[in-house]
């Protein structure tokens, strides 16, 4: 069962929330973060990406950056201003765009359950990124980014959430991308009902935020949390759990900056020798196909079938693209380290793929059919690992609206 725990949230005053709220630290580059925070001294990017206020040559992983983050955090609490809730609470967090709405529960989730596999993962994490957020959490003594969790929908939880959303929200903002973020605080009665309802959830799945939760577990060890046998704040991680029927996964597409020494025509001939290929103006492929943009033209490439030996993760279209085309035809042996490959989250659209190829930034682009939540569950349940950059979740939760101090 999944144990959830109320917490005393650190949050901005309602009038300050819109200016404070920021995109997650890891979805923007340093330059993009600097641009977004420019002219806004209360943007949470001054905390989550504090290197934007330092010399351009400063390493984002230097001790100077974490010291600056802690200093900026303390200043922001006063400047925004922030308040700490008087009592421990649970929160309902709704994301709403023109085409999609999803509503989840913001709470503290057990790191002990994460380590036991009750909270399941489907990605490997990079030590350098873990090191970064571990040092950031330890310097701030706070978890400022939300882990995106999902679970198989349960009617009792859905009914409770609907009732809560009929009340007056605590915070409500509309972000620059047009997505509204609305947060309700639960009263004691609703909290008790929600805790009992979540006891019926056998497993939670990490959708987005593998590095955040892994770093929280390491920070727990770093701070010797719970050493006296009592419950400690660092024994829990801040997250929002959304039901699977509302969780939307978009494709994480690929571009290659070269064709491994081949001309566009020679590469196309190699692809045609191995796969069924058709000229197709539709950049959104169906399952089992990949759309390839080469020399100004979209092609439909039918992926080869795979047998059961590849496991659940190996049968995903993103894995088949890697194993059948990128590695044998373009010599991409490791997508984590090969500097020739770049990734474009589905929210940026296939127009970005075309732009990169047409401008010469890339030689070829691949648009994928997105992984489904059922596939994510199957991979996690099997203890398997997806290829890197397999899933893109949109809309994104915002940093700075709910913070868990440890």
**The total number of residues written for the chain in this structure:** 406
Distance CA 323, CA 319 (A): 6
Provide the 8-state DSSP code for 246: G
Q: Give me the residues paired with residue 241 across strands.
A: 105, 149
pTM for this model (two decimals): 0.92
**Encoded tokens for 1:** 């069962």
Residue 168 has pLDDT above 70, yes or no: yes
Distance CA 330, CA 259 (A): 6
Q: How far is CA 196 from CA 1, 176, 199, in A?
A: 10, 37, 5
Query: What would the pLDDT profile of 345-371 be if each residue is shown by its tens digit?
Result: 877 788 999 999 999 999 999 999 999
To which residue do tokens 């940026």 refer?
348
Query: What would the pLDDT profile of 75-112 be if each residue is shown by its tens digit?
Result: 999 999 999 999 999 999 999 998 899 999 999 999 99
Distance CA 398, CA 392 (A): 15
pLDDT band at 231 (very low <50, low <70, confident <90, very high): low
Burial class (CB in 10 A: 0-12, 13-18, 19+), 229: exposed
Burial class (CB in 10 A: 0-12, 13-18, 19+), 3: middle
**Encoded tokens for 209:** 């935020």
Cis peptide before 81 (omega within 30 of 0): yes
Which pLDDT belongs to residue 229? 55
Distance CA 243, CA 16 (A): 29
Distance CA 365, CA 297 (A): 10
Q: What residues does each domain of the chain span?
A: 4-246+394-405, 252-369
**Encoded tokens for 123:** 């990605």
Distance CA 86, CA 374 (A): 40
Q: Which residues contact 331 (CB under 8 A, 6 or more apart)?
A: 260
Q: Which residues contact 177 (CB under 8 A, 6 or more apart)?
A: 97, 395
Give the β-pairing of 252-256 and 289-294. unpaired
Which pLDDT belongs to residue 282? 85
């Amino acid at each position: 069962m999944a144990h959830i725990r109320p917490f005393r949230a650190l949050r901005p005053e309602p009038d300050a929330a819109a200016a404070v709220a920021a995109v997650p630290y890891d979805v923007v580059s340093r330059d993009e973060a600097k641009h977004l925070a420019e002219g806004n001294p209360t943007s949470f990017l001054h905390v989550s990406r504090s290197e934007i206020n330092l010399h351009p040559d400063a390493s984002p992983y230097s001790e100077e950056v974490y010291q600056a983050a802690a200093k900026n955090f303390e200043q922001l609490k006063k400047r925004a201003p922030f308040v700490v809730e008087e009592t421990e609470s649970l929160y309902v967090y709704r994301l709403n765009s023109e085409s999609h709405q999803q509503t989840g529960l913001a709470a503290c989730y057990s790191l002990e359950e994460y380590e036991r596999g009750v909270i399941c993962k489907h990605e490997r994490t990079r030590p350098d990124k873990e090191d970064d957020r571990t040092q950031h959490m330890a310097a701030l003594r706070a978890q400022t980014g939300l882990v995106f969790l999902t679970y198989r929908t349960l009617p009792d939880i859905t009914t409770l959430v609907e009732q809560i959303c009929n009340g007056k929200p605590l915070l409500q903002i509309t972000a620059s991308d047009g997505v509204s973020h609305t947060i309700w605080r639960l009263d004691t009665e609703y909290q008790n009902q929600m805790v009992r309802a979540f006891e019926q959830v056998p497993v939670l799945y990490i959708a987005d935020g593998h590095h955040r939760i892994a770093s929280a577990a390491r920070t727990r060890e770093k701070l010797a949390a719970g050493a006296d046998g009592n419950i400690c704040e660092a024994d829990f991680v801040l997250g929002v759990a959304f039901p699977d029927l509302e969780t939307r996964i978009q494709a994480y597409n690929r571009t290659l900056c070269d064709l491994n020494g081949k001309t566009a025509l020679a590469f196309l001939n190699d692809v045609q020798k191995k796969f069924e290929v058709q000229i197709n103006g539709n950049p959104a492929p169906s399952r089992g196909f990949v759309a390839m943009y080469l020399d100004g033209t979209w092609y439909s490439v039918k992926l080869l079938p795979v047998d059961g030996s590849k496991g659940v993760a190996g049968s995903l279209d993103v894995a088949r693209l890697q194993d059948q085309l990128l590695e044998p035809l373009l010599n991409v042996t490791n997508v984590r380290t090969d500097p020739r490959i770049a990734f474009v989250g589905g929210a940026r659209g296939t127009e970005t793929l075309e732009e990169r190829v047409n401008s010469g930034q890339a030689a070829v682009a691949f648009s994928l059919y997105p992984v489904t939540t059922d596939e994510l569950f199957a991979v996690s349940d099997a203890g398997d690992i997806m290829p890197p950059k397999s899933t893109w979740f949109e809309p994104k939760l915002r940093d700075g609206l709910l913070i868990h101090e440890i």
